[in-house]
Amino acid sequence: MVVNTEMEALILENNLIKQYDPKYNILLRDDKSYPYIELTNDNVPRLTIVRSINRKKNLNYLYGPYPNVTAARNTVNLLNRMYPLRKCTTYNKKPCLYYHINQCLGYCTNEVPQEKIEVMRHDIIRFLKGDHSLITNKIRKEMLDESELMHYEKAQELKELLDYIEIVLTKQQVEMGDMVDRDVFGFYSDKGYLSIEVFFIRGSKLIGKHSKIFPLIDDLYDSITSYITKFYDKDIIKPKEILVSGGLDIDLISQYLNVKVLSPIKGNKKKIIDMAANNAKILLNEKFELIKKDEEKTTLANEELRTILKIPKLDRIEIFDNSNLFGNFNVSGMVVY
């Protein structure tokens, strides 16, 4: 089908892929959806982990994506421990266990001021957007208070929780100069293969990544453009900004995704793109090394077997399996390599 513009061609291609799901379309065939943390928009909110975001009408309270469900669950557990939100999906007639361990205010039977709930909602949103200072200060104060009361086991427990936040949640700080949510696409191509690395930057922190290697059967930049535009079809929220390497038609990608797309040539944004591209290169080289080792292992084993059997060449192996039932009903199978 001949169309008038590249944009029309891109839209047509994606629509046809969605319609026919071609067997050999390999760009996103093995990709998975990523977990997000949802803060429900109820009077008394809950924290949940979701994967299917297309069914959500309000995306304002979805945060992520997280690299795996364990990371998302650990974050939810931490917030539930610090803020006594509602845990149950329906209101019970009497407070549950969470109320008795101080992880819920017993909303089912107690009147809790809405102002107090809104303060907790505001603090949680700040945390999920990348500002961890509020919670770390709160834990540090609680730890000192428990220590003053000589509750040393409790103080030690809070110290370990504080270490978890400071080491795990803040170690991936990225110097971007702002708190804009970004996805960064880096790529590397060699020997007929294309490797793409995607960094998810949320709140100036690198919270996760996605990697993909596939055979390059089309023009390099066409393949990358096609991959980026299809990437957000599968339960991934589009960020405020996308960073890509040079050579791509950023206007085309921006127009199609309705997202700001940049290809910086210097500064911190260029450094993070180079880092993503370097990760893509390392990933592809590791893949080649594994292929090489696997081929060497197979070739050397084959040559060793040929030597043991003292035959001029070994290019065919037949394996037989014979089975019978009490000496009757004999059946044989042969596999050929």
Residue 130 has a pLDDT of 73
Going by C-beta distance under 8 Å and a sequence separation of 6 or more, which residues neighbour residue 270? 264
Q: How far apart are CA 98 and CA 202, in angstroms?
A: 31
Show contacts of 4-10: CB within 8 Å, 24+ apart.
6/249, 6/252, 7/252, 7/255, 7/256, 10/225, 10/226, 10/229, 10/252, 10/256
Residue 308 has a pLDDT of 95
Residue 194 has a pLDDT of 92
Structure tokens at 138: 């709160």
Residue 260 has a pLDDT of 93
Q: How far apart are CA 135 and CA 114, in angstroms?
A: 21
130-155 b/e (C-beta count within 10 Å ≥ 16 → b) = bebeebbeebeebbeebeeeeeeeeb
Q: How far apart are CA 20 and CA 26, in angstroms?
A: 14
Rounded to two decimals, the pTM is 0.66
Structure tokens at 83: 């803020």
Mean pLDDT of successive 10-residue segments in the chain (337 residues)? 82 80 68 78 84 60 78 82 80 76 78 84 83 80 87 83 67 67 92 90 79 87 90 81 90 91 89 91 90 83 91 91 87 93
Residue 252: how many other CB atoms lie within 10 Å: 17
CB 268 within 8 A of CB 176: yes
Query: Hey, which CATH number is domain 173-337, 3.30.420, 1.10.3470, 1.20.120, 3.40.1000?
Result: 3.30.420
Q: Where are the domains of the chain?
A: 36-132, 173-337
Residue 175 has a pLDDT of 65
Residue 153 has a pLDDT of 85
Q: How far apart are CA 63 and CA 175, in angstroms?
A: 20
